[in-house]
């Protein structure tokens, strides 16, 4: 299993997700362009001193990620996906792809990789914070696949 951040824009979100990846021993893949420098102080602060414990790879673009990693399945996280995360059957080799904070994943990516998942939300709220959503999806995937270590 791995987390993929497609063109992340906000340093504290990426730092929080890096910390999540360190805590769960899940690789993190960042797809450029990034909305910040990797040495950004806010990014480092959000990840605290956990960065040395994160298996992080930066890719120049999404096709580079797909061509080099060759993930068995890409799970595209989107508010527009039809399947709720608790009804989606995650697999241990999934790559959970999260879109940029301000615009989400592009429609052509969602069409190219049809395995999509959403987190149900109610009311006028359009979406959840990227790091919150990533945590929800990752822990549901870990729960379903028995990859959680007690």
**pLDDT tens figures, 92-132:** 999 999 999 999 999 999 999 999 999 999 989 988 999 99
SS3 of 129, please?
coil
Q: How many CA atoms lie within 13 A of 142 on its CB side?
A: 18
Name the strand (E) or helix (H) holding 137.
helix 130-145
Contact 84, 120 (CB under 8 A): yes
| pLDDT higher than threshold 80 for residue 39 | no
Decide which of 60 and 126 is more confident.
60
Contact 17, 5 (CB under 8 A): yes
What pTM value is reported for the model? Answer: 0.92
């Amino acid at each position: 299993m791995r987390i993929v951040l497609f063109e992340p824009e906000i340093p504290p979100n990426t730092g929080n997700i890096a910390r999540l990846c360190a805590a769960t021993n899940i690789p993190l893949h960042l797809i450029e362009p990034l909305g910040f420098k990797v040495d950004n102080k806010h990014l480092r602060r959000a990840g605290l001193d956990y960065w040395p414990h994160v298996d992080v790879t930066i890719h120049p673009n999404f096709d580079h990620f797909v061509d080099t990693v060759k993930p068995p399945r890409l799970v595209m996280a989107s508010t527009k996906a039809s399947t709720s995360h608790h009804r989606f059957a995650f697999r241990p080799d999934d790559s959970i792809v999260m879109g940029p904070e301000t615009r989400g994943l592009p429609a052509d990516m969602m069409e190219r990789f049809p395995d999509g998942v959403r987190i149900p939300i109610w009311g006028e709220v359009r979406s959840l914070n990227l790091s919150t959503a990533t945590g929800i999806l990752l822990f549901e995937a870990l729960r379903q696949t028995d990859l959680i270590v007690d």
